[in-house]
């Protein structure tokens, strides 16, 4: 992994109140307006400053890192771009991003802003004083302005049924890419997370619950954006495989213990 064009050295100033982690794969077109919108919202709101945005380019082939770095001068918040030399998967990109943060809080959001950054105000109360707030399309479907294609919706609902059958979650939607974590928890999760694929959300939430951290589901606005990186057949198989792995690890007592607690 490398930083692009280099990772800014952290000085001795005030650590950021919020770190925004954006995993990105071939997002040269969509990422610049997203960075502008996120930075503008944080500046206008003011309550999350100082803030940083950490973009993780997961082996893109379209100049994603260079496109993101162009916004370095415009962003009113600190912007860092980290690069995986090869595509490793969204879970790996999130792990890299979380580990690189310094914020009191860490927001995970997608490069397409399917859930708007303005709904950070909706997540925040559900995360206080120390919980994970999970943006959800299932809590109030009236907030979904542009639905997914039918096959994608069926895929998501079926996966959620599998997760419930395996007792990996009670949430109605684990896969919405809009979640707020306490910063120290996000960095601890980065050290413990093992899945590289799209089931990483399930692993993060399972580990948080396993460590005794409340996980709260909150309805957020959402609109479907075309050019999704999810390949229905291939990624459905991978997500099912990884869900079974998580259930197996839990049954055998192989989930990592909370930070600072030795394995008994």
Is 211 within a domain? yes
The domain in which residue 237 lies consists of: 2-251
Six-digit token string for 166: 């395996």
How far apart are alpha carbons 259 and 256 in whole angstroms? Answer: 8
Considering the chain, what is the average pLDDT of its residues?
89
How far apart are alpha carbons 236 and 54 in whole angstroms? Answer: 28
Number of domains in the chain: 1
Helix (H) or strand (E) holding 20: strand 18-24
Contacts 24+ apart (CB under 8 A), 258-262: 258/188, 258/210, 258/211, 258/212, 259/188, 259/191, 259/192, 259/211
Is 166 within a domain? yes
Which pLDDT belongs to residue 160? 92
Write the CATH number for 57: 3.90.550.10
Is 53 within a domain? yes
Nearest C-alpha neighbor of 92 from the set 3, 215, 178, 1: 1
Is 28 within a domain? yes
Residues 74-116: pLDDT tens digits?
556 899 999 999 999 999 999 999 999 999 999 999 999 999 9
Is 9 within a domain? yes
Can you give the pTM of this predicted structure? Answer: 0.90
Is 13 within a domain? yes
Is 126 within a domain? yes
Six-digit token string for 158: 């079926």
């Amino acid at each position: 992994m490398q930083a692009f064009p280099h990772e800014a050295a952290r000085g001795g100033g005030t650590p950021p109140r919020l770190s925004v982690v954006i995993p990105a794969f071939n997002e040269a077109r969509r990422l610049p307006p997203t960075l502008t919108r996120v930075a503008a919202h944080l500046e206008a709101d003011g309550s999350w400053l100082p803030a940083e945005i950490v973009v993780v380019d997961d082996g893109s082939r379209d100049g994603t890192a260079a496109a993101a770095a162009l916004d370095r001068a415009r962003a009113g918040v600190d912007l860092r771009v980290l690069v995986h030399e090869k595509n490793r998967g969204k879970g790996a990109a999130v792990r890299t991003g979380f580990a690189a943060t310094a914020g009191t809080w860490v927001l995970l959001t997608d490069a397409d802003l399917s859930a708007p950054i303005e709904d950070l105000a909706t997540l925040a109360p559900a995360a206080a004083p120390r919980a994970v707030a999970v943006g959800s399309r299932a809590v109030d479907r009236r907030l979904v302005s542009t639905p997914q294609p039918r096959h994608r919706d069926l895929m998501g609902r079926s996966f959620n049924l599998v997760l419930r059958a395996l007792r990996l979650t009670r949430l109605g939607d684990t896969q919405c890419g809009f979640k707020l974590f306490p910063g120290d928890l996000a960095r601890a999760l980065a050290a413990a997370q093992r899945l590289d694929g799209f089931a990483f959300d399930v692993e993060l939430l399972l580990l948080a619950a396993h460590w005794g951290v409340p996980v709260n589901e909150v309805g957020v606005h959402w609109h479907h954006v075309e050019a999704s990186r999810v390949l229905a057949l291939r990624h459905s198989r991978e997500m099912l495989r990884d869900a079974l792995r998580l259930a197996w690890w839990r049954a055998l007592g192989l989930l990592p213990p909370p930070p600072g607690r030795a394995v008994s």
